[in-house]
Amino acid sequence: MNNTLLEHINLPKDLRQLKPDDLPQLAQELRRFIINIVATKEGHLGASLGVVELTIALHYVFNTPKDELIWDVGHQAYGHKILTGRKAIFETNRQLGGISGFPKRSESEYDSFGVGHSSTSISAALGMAIASQLKGEDKHHIAVIGDASIASGMAFEGLNHAGVTDANLLVILNDNAIGIDPSVGALKQYLTNVKKGTEKQDNIFEALNFNYSGPIDGHDLPLLLSELKRLKTVKGPKFLHLITTKGKGLKQAELDQVKYHAPGKFDANTGELIAKSGPSQPPKFQDVFGETIVELALENDKIVGITPAMPTGSSLKYMMDTIPNRAFDVGIAEQHAVTLAAGMATQGLIPFCNIYSTFLQRAYDQIIHDVALQNLPVIFCLDRAGLVGEDGATHHGVFDLAYLNCIPNLVIFAPSNAIALRNIMYTAQLGIDFPMAIRYPRGRGYLLDWKKPFEKIEIGKGSCLKNGTDIAILSIGTLLKNVEDAVELLNQPDAIGYYDMQFVKPLDEVLLHKIFSSYKAIITIEDGTIVGGFGASILAFANTNNYKLTIITLGIEDKFIEHGTVNELQQLQQLDPLSIKTQIQDLLQLTSK
């Protein structure tokens, strides 16, 4: 089908010129447009395909951008971006210098609120609605939220407040029974019963003082248009319950909704995934975690695993499949996950709480108050630490070293490879009397032969990997490989020593005294923020001990880093091997004077 309608639509005002009977054809064209580009450029597919009709209906009925439209998380906003002035550049989605994969206020006036983490839309839309009331403005405020996101505590907080206001707020529940993995919990069962017509309790949303309508078919455009037009005339907080299919319009995406959330490259016509060819590859770090926790848990019945809605992404699903009664997906509830782990730890269990680094930010008080203050041995496994690539500023796990570094009792470890990850997990489950954070990156390491016999790691000890005469490089985590590659590029390697410090906290002060007494200058390197991170701790050590060496700290600069491949972003942050080599050469010249 030729894009006879979509090719003429650049903004919602163009969309509103169409007749209602034209919109189903536009929906087909918009789906095909998304599929064709994501098939080759990659990105989040299933969620956007599931809301094509809703996206068209919202921009057709409401006067965006005056009327505020907020997409929770934003995985589903591709159609929105295409219809709001970004069709011609949509192929740059998630690429360096291109448009963001999520709604972003600085990108378009149609992106009313920047999103990326879940469950924020209701609070944001309510804030806008109350502001409009105070300013005497007559406009609509719409929050589109999924069934996984609405189960989060923050969404309930927003609903609870909205229900006692007369704000002009419309909450649309996009109910497809899945987030990234299938939704879990009692609310999911309630929504399932509502859809089946078997729920006999009072409607929970009506009990919260919302004018509730639905559930209705979210792919029925005439019905959607009619209901949205009706809701425009209803005052106060309103709630529309839609039933949709994630991946709608691509058979494989409908059948395997987990895999096609973000499938990578695939054939746009058949939907078949395009396998990456080449020699055998090292495992992903999340798979090392997943296989290791199963291996350990089969021997140690005190081990439990916890994840907030990311069993597949974190690979805790391995344990959920093997030992289901000791592995828990608690839904999008990071605060609950942390305090649940704390409660388990008080009873002698060994909880491995697996949370993406960027999402642990949402449970900061619980880390401090419920875990560290009570010195409970919760083991945090922080996946997606450091630069994560194309998901960009909302998802980079670059703040964890800094925000954890200041918390008493907490031990922080960054494995440089898969073997170190396995060994620190083994060490932790042997019995520790303090909380520990283990942070590791997204993607693959570089070791093919990684399943070695377990070895206990001494807490707070770093290691010398190469002695030198002039400059010592102190690294944390997997950037060690970039350091090794940089040193290989130099023509005077004898001058350089490098060290895998392993622990950000506690620092190996014995080793540091030896280093500071043996070298002319120090370079620290981390894939976390320079402000407050590992390098800052080394500077503090030097100051406390009155060392006068030149110290250069490499890491993430004091700004939010946008999207691009990890290699591209490392180059921009001067953390790639060539940039490190240049830093070393400049420092060698300085120390030789």
Tell me which DSSP letter residue 284 carries.
B
Which of 484, 492, 448, 486 minimizes the C-alpha distance to 466?
484
Contact between 78 and 93 under an 8 Å Cβ cutoff? The reply is yes
Contact between 209 and 10 under an 8 Å Cβ cutoff? The reply is no
Q: What integer pLDDT is reported at residue 456 of this predicted model?
A: 97
Q: What integer pLDDT is reported at residue 194 of this predicted model?
A: 83
- Give residue 168's identity as a one-letter amino acid code: N
Whether the bond into 182 is cis, omega within 30 of 0: no
Give Dmax (Cα) for the chain: 82
How far is it, in rounded angstroms, from Cα 29 to Cα 1? 8
Q: How far apart are the first and last CA of the chain?
A: 70
User: Burial, 444: exposed, middle or buried (Cβ in 10 Å; 0-12, 13-18, 19+)?
Assistant: middle
* Pairing state between β 411-413 and 503-505: antiparallel
User: Burial, 336: exposed, middle or buried (Cβ in 10 Å; 0-12, 13-18, 19+)?
Assistant: middle
Q: From residue 114, how far is each of 44, 95, 198, 337 by CA, in Å? A: 17, 18, 37, 25
Q: Is the pTM of this model over 0.75?
A: yes
How far is it, in rounded angstroms, from Cα 428 to Cα 4? 61
Contacts of 446 (CB under 8 A, 6+ apart): 282, 417, 481
Q: Where are the domains of the chain?
A: 6-261, 285-439, 468-591
* Class of the domain covering 285-439: alpha beta
Q: What integer pLDDT is reported at residue 3 of this predicted model?
A: 54
Q: From residue 385, how far is each of 443, 514, 533 by CA, in Å? A: 10, 30, 13
How far is it, in rounded angstroms, from Cα 151 to Cα 333? 8
Q: How many C-beta neighbours within 10 Å does residue 494 have?
A: 11
Residue 296's SS3 state is: helix
Give the 3-state secondary structure percentages of the chain, helix then strand then coil, rounded to 5: 45, 15, 40
* Pairing state between β 141-146 and 169-175: parallel
| 437's tokens | 């954070």
Q: What integer pLDDT is reported at residue 2 of this predicted model?
A: 54
Radius of gyration of the chain (CA): 26
Architecture of domain 6-261: 3-Layer(aba) Sandwich (3.40)
User: Burial, 447: exposed, middle or buried (Cβ in 10 Å; 0-12, 13-18, 19+)?
Assistant: middle
Contacts of 505 (CB under 8 A, 6+ apart): 404, 405, 410, 411, 412, 537
Query: Per-residue confidence of the chain (593 residues) as pLDDT tens digits?
Result: 455 899 999 999 999 999 999 999 999 999 999 999 999 988 899 899 999 999 999 999 999 999 999 999 999 999 999 999 999 999 999 999 999 999 999 999 999 999 999 999 999 999 999 999 999 999 999 999 999 999 999 999 999 999 999 999 999 999 998 767 788 888 888 888 887 777 777 789 999 999 999 999 999 999 999 999 999 999 999 999 999 999 898 888 888 888 888 888 998 888 888 877 667 889 999 999 999 999 999 999 999 999 999 999 999 999 999 999 999 999 999 999 999 999 999 999 999 999 999 999 999 999 999 999 999 999 999 999 999 999 999 999 999 999 999 999 999 999 999 999 999 999 999 999 999 999 999 989 888 899 999 999 999 999 999 999 999 999 999 999 999 999 999 987 799 999 999 999 999 999 999 999 999 999 999 999 999 999 999 999 999 999 999 999 999 999 999 999 999 999 999 999 999 999 999 999 888 77
Which of 361, 353, 369, 435 minimizes the C-alpha distance to 398?
361
- Give residue 338's identity as a one-letter amino acid code: V
How far is it, in rounded angstroms, from Cα 55 to Cα 58? 5
Contact between 383 and 286 under an 8 Å Cβ cutoff? The reply is yes
468-591 maps to CATH 3.30.2350.10: no
Contact between 18 and 26 under an 8 Å Cβ cutoff? The reply is yes
| 525's tokens | 């390197």
| 100's tokens | 């963001």
Contact between 591 and 520 under an 8 Å Cβ cutoff? The reply is yes
How far is it, in rounded angstroms, from Cα 217 to Cα 244? 7
How far is it, in rounded angstroms, from Cα 133 to Cα 114? 22
* Pairing state between β 496-500 and 379-383: unpaired
Residue the block writes with tokens 């620092």: 507
Q: What integer pLDDT is reported at residue 333 of this predicted model?
A: 95
Same fold, 6-261 and 468-591: yes
Active site residues per annotation: 246, 334, 362
